[in-house]
Each structure stands twice: as structure tokens, then as C-alpha cells.
Amino acid sequence: MYVRDLKTDFYDRIQQQRLLILVSLDVDSLCACKILQSLFQCDQVLHTIIPVTGKQSLERAYLENSEGVKFVLLLNCGATFDIIETLRPDDGVVFFICDNHLPVHLNSIFNQVQVQILGKEDDTENLPEFTDLFRDSDDEEDEEEVRRPVFNRTHHITLQDDSGDDSDSSQPKRKKFDEKSLMKKRDKRLWEQKRRELVFQYEEFSKYGTSVAFVMYELAWKMSKDTNDLLWLAIVGITEQYVNGKVERDRYMEGLQFLQGHVSRLNHWSEDEENTLSVDCLRISFETELRLCLFRHWSLFESLCHSQYTACKFKVWTLKGKKRLHEFLAEMGLPLVQCKQKYSSMEVHLRDSIKEMMTKFIEKYGIHEHDLFLPSFLASYGYKNRFCASDVVRVCATLLESMEKDVTPSDSFFRALDVLNRKCTSVMEVGLEQAKLQQKAIVTQVQSFLDMNQIISAGPFLYALVQEGTPDGKYFSNPLCLVRLARFTLEAYCAMSKNKRVRNLPLVIGASLDSDLGVMLVAGIPPISDSKCINCFGKAFEQAASSTNSRVNQDSFDSHVMELKTEDRSKFFDALISLLH
Amino acid sequence: MFGLKAIELIKEAKRSQEGTLPPYNEEGIRKVLEEMRALFEQNQAEVNEALEGDQDLFVGIQIRHVALEQNKRCILAYLNHRLETIKQLRWELGSVLPQDVKQNLTTPEAQWFSKYSKGLAKYMRSLGNQGGVDLTLDVRPPKTLHIQVRCLEDHGEFETQDGNIILLKKNSQHFLLRSECEHLIRQGILEHIIT
């Protein structure tokens, strides 16, 4: 059930009890978690926070910590599958689900008591009517053998996914001529068929809804507990969604506009000359940001070479592309010496005029202003710390998938949580360095894909595999990084390929996860031309796996990322090709 | 020169970190006492001679006497410093000292510690209506009743005052009553997160 008023139906309800919060490992949920923490600190709501990596770890965490817990909050996890069926909680336990993964499982939407969904109801599309999904069981009491949706005592509804079409044969003979019952049965069959279609339509594509950090910020705002810090977290949340291609630009702009109002409301201080704020306070300003990764903390040249958009436009992995890039810089009048040193040590007048110069010259190089510039926000505190939202996202994501030895995912969760804390500048610096390394690894991998012609067109989709034993291969055993590599690869391939058709092809990418166990990680992303950010691979993977009996593990909350036994690779991909044809 | 060894003791006490207890320097103390005994015996002998009329000896006696006094003050300061540290440990670590700290105590010090503990416990019991008051909690006034803590090692189940059972497992974060988890923080099981 969707919660209508977050404050009365969610926040006021959980005040008295200890709350268990299960958080998935992604940047958006980290931000939401941080916002909630500060709210709970104000109102002294006791809570326990446990990071979870996948469905199995969610189950384990719930089992271990469920004792005496009446309310459970799930951040960015738990919406896409039947949570009640999976966790089998006691009757009194209520799950609040705040998840940007769509579609939300139908049982969760129609469960009135135990599942409460915090989020925007308008995010869901193709939602079937209740009457099309569940039939009243009263008029069918005589047909016991027909399995049907039932209401059990907790009002929890059991969905039926498998078909009950073979039930006719067991029917006693005398009933065969009973016209009334035959009609009833026919009705029922038709209804079931329609229902299956509706459910399929609803679940076919996976996509992302409103950022959870955004939802939590709205809650904070409604309770007048919003501060600049919380606002910054919400900004990071929505930026993460856009930067990682989870939502389309229009949706991002919508959120941005809403937040911009808040930014000007909470940051009007600095304009007034008399009551200026101390430099140590957080200040957020609206800025049209260059979409160059980490350029404030790197050199401009490196950043141009490693950012997805510019690298693909200039094709920096070719000699010609490198030349064009140099030409571009020369035309703008930026000396190479300046470009190759740290951005912070560049001469001030050059630094100030970069944006202006770029807008002047990019058109000649086929770069669109719309793509190179992104309206975003900049946070500054103290003299040294200036971060743009997308850089914070990148650092945070890198720390979440730390490559260091003996660091468990939950260790890195808390490291990443610390980064969002303004006072931990040392962690931030470590994170920045790691993020650069990761970005370099991605670019090197993309280049080797292109050089070795490893991106293969399999008909309905493109397909690339990170070779085992690649030095940077360890980076790509993490889902977030793998998806980023996939997006970079697809864009680079489209830029290099002369064939226009490739823009309409999705990409499936695979990387070894654990060579000892023979497991690989597979991720699928939608084609470049797709502007709606909907992903069909969740269902496709599931069907391909079940039709070939491949050993897969769809443990991740993102359905388009899954683990696959390396031995089953070829038959799985064969099935996937025939399925998508 | 007289008094050098005593100064060494003082320096050692000063060098030790705030709140930690170095091992009892028996060797140093013994040397200082030896020096003092030698000084005293020499003085005794010379005082007897001086009383018989040798006026020149008084200057030497005076100097030795000052040195004696100085050594005495140094030893007392050293012992007092240790005593204060032990007292502080009782407030910080509770009535049971960890093994490594215990090894650094001498027998009389250990005896004093247990007596001090007993005295303090008796006094705390007598406070309040029933059950007494734990004075070692909240040495400084707390800013909030609840605090954010992160679990650093697997500790197992922990029952809170309101009867809830919380599983303290490595890498989980909790928001708990300050009074309940203060001793766990001292033991290093929980980490207080300051935001």
C-alpha cells in the first residue's frame, strides 16, 4: 500500500518503537539513511542500521535482528520481490519500503497492513486493477481443486504465478455436463489468462523511480527539520540517479527545480553583506557544471580523457582523436602545461574562463552544449573544500566498492557513510584517489575492448566480456562499476561504429566474479537511443535462465545484474538471443 | 651530584601518558633510598663531630640535609602521581582492571585500589533512594540522551533497559541510550560516532 502522508502514516507511527533499518549498498540509499539518521537524532528514535548487499543478505540480516522489532524500514531494497513471502515475518511486523527500484511487486502494493510503500505513486505505470488481479474467493468455494488467490488471516494475498491449466483433467465426470460450472470455469480461465498478461505487462521492464534521498528530504522539509546538510544529501541522491543513467534528464530537471527552490531559500545568507556566514559553514550554490569527472581534483587534460562524454566524442583512444583533443585545447588558448597540471594550480584567469571558451568552440567539434554542461550544485565549506555533486557521487560509489583486501562490503558501507559526513576530509581524499584509479581502469578496459574488437554483435544485442586475468579485472567484479563500464563501452562503441543501427542495441557485459568458483557477473543496459531508461534485461535474464536451466543467482536488487556460472555461459546467451529476437 | 636519580623518577612519571600507568620503578626507588641512607649516615657521623666543636662541618651537613629533603619530596611526588592515576583508572575502567594494567601495580597499590573501589561502591550505594547512583557514568554532562554507535566486533546479544534485545554484530550501527552503551564504548566494543 502506498503511504499517503509520510509524516502521519510513517514518521509518527515509528516514534515509539525501535526501528530496524536495512540499507542497500548504493549512494542514493546512503544519502537517505544519513537524512533519516539526523531526523531520528532530533526525535530520539532508537534504531539499528544494517547494510545489506543482496536478497540473501537481507534475509539473513532480518533473521538475526528481527527479535522484538515491530517496524522495519527498507531503503532501496525489497520492493521488487514479495517481501512477506521471502521473510515470513510475524503478523504484527510492518515493513516500510522506500525503494527506487520499479516495478514494485504487486503483492506489496495491495497488501494493506504489513507493507507500506513510501514513495511516489505516480511512478508506477501499467498498474493492473485490483479486481483484475485478485478474485473474491466466496463464489468459488465448491471448486476446491482450482488453486486460487486466497486471503489469509493477515490479509496477506498469495499471488499465483504458475498456470493452473491442467486442472480440468481431475474434474469429476458428472460435472462435465453441468453447464453452469463449465461457464464458470471458462470465465475463470479467461480471467487467469488476462491476469497473466497484465502481470507480465507490468513486470516486463525494470526502471527507477524517485530518489529515496529526495523522498526523505521532503519528509524532513514537511517537518521543518530541513537544513543545508540534508539538502545537500538530497542533491547527491538525485544526481546519483542521473549520473548512473537511472532516470532520464527530464526527471532529473524536475527534481533539480524543486531542490533549487530550497537551495535559494536556505542559502540566502551569503548575499547579505551584514550577516555573512562563517566560511566553515556549508554553502550550496547552483552551477552549470562541466560534465568532466573529478576535474576539480585532477588535471583538466586527464579529466577530458577519462570522462565518458568527451572521451567518446573525441575518440581519445585513436591517434586522430588525441590530435583533435590537442587541437581543441589549442584553439581555446589553453596551454598544455596548464592543462596537464592540477586544476587547482592552474592560472586563475584560465580557470575562470574555461566554461566560456568551451561553449564557444565545442560546436565545431560536434559536441552539444546540452550534453557537456549539466545544471547541478556545488557545495563549499572552509577554503579548501569545494565539491560538485557528481564528484561526491563518484567518490562515494568508489568507496562502496573498495578494492582493498580484508574490507567487507559493510566496512566500505560505513566508510562511504563517513564521506558524506563533512568532517571526514581525509576519507574524502583517499576516495578521490581511488575514484581516479577506477576511472582510469574503465577507460583502459574500454580501449582494449575496442582495440581487440571484443564487442560482438549478437543480433538483438551487443555483447562484451572482460577477459579473465586482465590486470584491472578486479574492479569489474563490482556491480556499480560494471554497469558504469557497460555504459562507457556502449557509448564508445556507438561513437566508433559507422553502423547507425548500433544506437538501438542494448549491451550485455560480463566479467569474472570469482574464478575459483567459476562464477561471473553479468549486467545488461538499455540502448543509447532509449531515452526512458527502462531496462528489459531483468525479466529476460530470468526467462533465459529458467529455459536453459542455467545456474544463476539473481541476488542483486537491480534485476539487470546477476551472477552466472561460467560453464553455463554459452547456453544462457543462446537462449537470450532467441528470446530477444 | 645528589638528587639526580630522584629527578629521573619524576621525569619518568611526567613522560608517561595521561591516564596510563607505567610499571613501578622499583630499581629507581631503591637507588634513591640507598642514596638517602648514605647521606643520612654521613650526616649522623658529622653531626656528632660538629657537636664536639668542629664548626666547619655545618655547611656540608646543611647541603646533605637539603638533598635528603629533596629526595623525599621526589619519591612522595612519584608515589602520589601513581596513586592519582590509579584513582583515575577506577573511574574510567571500573572496578575490574584489565590484566595489563594490573601487572603494573605493586601489591600495596593493588590493595589500596581494592579498598578505594570498595569505599566508592559503598558510597554510591548509599546515594539515592534505593539501588544507589552510578557516579562513574556521565563524568561530564552529556549533550544528548541517545548516541550513535557503531559496532566494532561481534559481541552477541545485548538487552536494553526497555527489554529489547539487540544483536551487536560487527558493522552494524545503532542509536542507543548513552548510559547503556557507555561501558561498551570504554571496552572498545562500540565506537561513538560524532557527526
Chain A, nearest residue to B167 by Cα = A65
Q: Which residues contact A483 (CB under 8 A, 6 or more apart)?
A: A244, A523, A525, A558, A561
A6 pLDDT band (50/70/90 cuts)? confident
Q: How many CA atoms lie within 13 A of B191 on its CB side?
A: 14
pLDDT of A39 reads 92
Same domain? B89 vs B9: yes
Q: Are A476 and A510 in contact (CB under 8 A)?
A: no
Same domain? B62 vs B113: yes
Q: Residues A18-38: what's their mean pLDDT?
A: 92
pLDDT of A273 reads 60
Contact B144 A37 (CB under 8 A): no
3-class DSSP assignment, residue A393: helix
If you compute the radius of gyration of chain B from its CA atoms, what whole number of angstroms results?
25
Checking if the pLDDT of A145 tops 60, the result is no
Please name every residue paired with B156 in a beta bridge, in sequence order, or none if there are none.
B168
| Third-level CATH fold of A452-580 | Diaminopimelate Epimerase; Chain A, domain 1 (3.10.310)
Q: Residues A135-156: what's their mean pLDDT?
A: 45
Residue of A41, A48, A410 lying closest to B166 (CB–CB):
A48
Per the structure block, which three cell numbers stand in for A393?
557521487
C-alpha angle A50-A52-A57 in degrees, rounded to nearest 5: 115
Checking if the pLDDT of A518 tops 80, the result is yes
* Residues of chain B neighbouring A75 (CB-CB closer than 8 A): none
Which of A20-29, A211-220, A384-393 is predicted with the least confidence, judged by mean pLDDT? A384-393
3-class DSSP assignment, residue A25: coil
Chain A, nearest residue to B152 by Cα = A411
Q: How far is B160 from chain A (nearest CA, A)?
A: 11
* Residue B135 counted as domain residue: no
- For the stretch A473-515, pLDDT in tens is 888 988 999 999 999 999 999 988 888 888 889 999 999 888 8
Same domain? B92 vs B181: no
Same domain? B98 vs B182: no
Among the listed residues B83, B74, B104, the one whose alpha carbon sits nearest the alpha carbon of residue B5: B74
Q: How far apart are CA A152 and CA A45, in angstroms?
A: 33
pLDDT of A298 reads 92
Contact A49 B164 (CB under 8 A): no
**For strand A71-75 and strand A94-98, is the pairing parallel, antiparallel, or unpaired?**
parallel
The residue among B96, B126, B156 that closes a domain is B126
Checking if the pLDDT of A300 tops 50, the result is yes
Which of A247-251, A292-296, A470-474, B189-193 is predicted with the least confidence, judged by mean pLDDT? A470-474
C-alpha of A224 from chain center:
28
Size of interface A-B (CB pairs under 8 A): 56
What percent of chain A is predicted at pLDDT more than 90?
A: 31
The residue among A20, A34, A49 with the most chain B CBs within 10 A of its CB, best to mutate, is A49
Q: Are A163 and A196 in contact (CB under 8 A)?
A: yes
Contact A414 B148 (CB under 8 A): no
- For the stretch B19-67, pLDDT in tens is 778 888 889 999 999 999 999 999 888 888 888 877 788 888 899 999 9
For residues A11-35, b (16+ Cβ closer than 10 Å) or e, as one string?
A: bebbeebbbbbbbbbbbbbbbbbbb
**Distances in Å between the alpha carbon of A73 and those of A22, A184, A315, B103?**
6, 42, 45, 48
Checking if the pLDDT of A269 tops 70, the result is no
Contact B174 A50 (CB under 8 A): no
Same domain? B80 vs B170: no
Q: Tell me, what DSSP letter sits at residue A161? A: -
C-alpha of A167 from chain center:
42
Contact B173 A40 (CB under 8 A): no
The residue among A33, A46, A64 with the most chain B CBs within 10 A of its CB, best to mutate, is A46
**Distances in Å between the alpha carbon of A309 and those of A9, A443, A450, A495, A537?**
43, 12, 16, 10, 24
Domain span at residue B104?
4-126
Q: Is the dihedral of CA A340, A342, A343, A347 positive or negative?
A: negative
ipTM more than 0.95? no
Q: Residues A11-38: what's their mean pLDDT?
A: 91
Chain B residues within 8 A (CB-CB) of chain A?
Answer: 144-146, 148, 150, 163-167, 169-177, 195
CATH number (domain holding residue B22): 1.20.58.1030
How many domains does chain B fold into? 2
Same domain? B62 vs B158: no
Same domain? B33 vs B111: yes
Per the structure block, which three cell numbers stand in for A75?
531503503
Checking if the pLDDT of B192 tops 90, the result is no
A176 pLDDT band (50/70/90 cuts)? low
Q: How far is A422 from chain B (nearest CA, A)?
A: 9
A108 pLDDT band (50/70/90 cuts)? confident
Q: How far apart are CA A101 and CA A72, in angstroms?
A: 18
Chain B, nearest residue to A39 by Cα = B175
Element (H, E) at A283: strand A283-290
pLDDT of B54 reads 74
Same domain? B156 vs B115: no
Residues of A (45-64) whose Cβ lies below 8 Å from B = 45-51, 64
Contact A44 B164 (CB under 8 A): no
The Cβ of residue A92 has, within 10 Å, a number of other Cβ atoms equal to 11
Contact A48 B172 (CB under 8 A): yes
The domain spans of chain A are 6-128, 135-203, 267-441, 452-580
pLDDT of A152 reads 42
Residue of A47, A65, A411 lying closest to B167 (CB–CB):
A65
Per CATH, domain A6-128 is 3.90.1640.30: yes
Same domain? B23 vs B84: yes
Q: Residues A189-202: what's their mean pLDDT?
A: 88
Same domain? B160 vs B67: no
Q: Mean pLDDT over all residues of chain A?
A: 85
Which of A136-140, A209-213, A432-436, A564-568 is predicted with the least confidence, judged by mean pLDDT? A136-140
C-alpha angle A455-A461-A465 in degrees, rounded to nearest 5: 35
- For the stretch A72-90, pLDDT in tens is 999 999 888 899 988 988 8
Q: Are A477 and A513 in contact (CB under 8 A)?
A: yes
Checking if the pLDDT of A146 tops 80, the result is no
Examine domains A6-128 and A452-580 and report if their fold is the same.
Answer: no
Checking if the pLDDT of A168 tops 70, the result is no
* Residue B45 counted as domain residue: yes
pLDDT of A258 reads 92
Q: Tell me, what DSSP letter sits at residue A299? A: B
The residue among B145, B171, B177, B194 with the most chain A CBs within 10 A of its CB, best to mutate, is B171
- For the stretch A32-73, pLDDT in tens is 999 999 999 888 888 999 999 899 999 999 998 888 888 999
* Residues of chain A neighbouring B161 (CB-CB closer than 8 A): none
In SS3 terms, A48-96 reads as EEEEECCHHHHHHHHHHHCCCCCEEEEECCCCCCCHHHHHCCCCCCEEE
Q: Which residue has the higher pLDDT, B153 or A276?
A: B153
Q: How far is B125 from chain A (nearest CA, A)?
A: 30
Q: Which residue has the higher pLDDT, A128 or A322?
A: A322
At residue A39, φ and ψ (nearest 5 deg) are -65, -45
Q: Residues A112-127: what's their mean pLDDT?
A: 82
* Residue B75 counted as domain residue: yes
Among the listed residues A111, A188, A184, the one whose alpha carbon sits nearest the alpha carbon of residue A151: A111
Chain B, nearest residue to A18 by Cα = B164
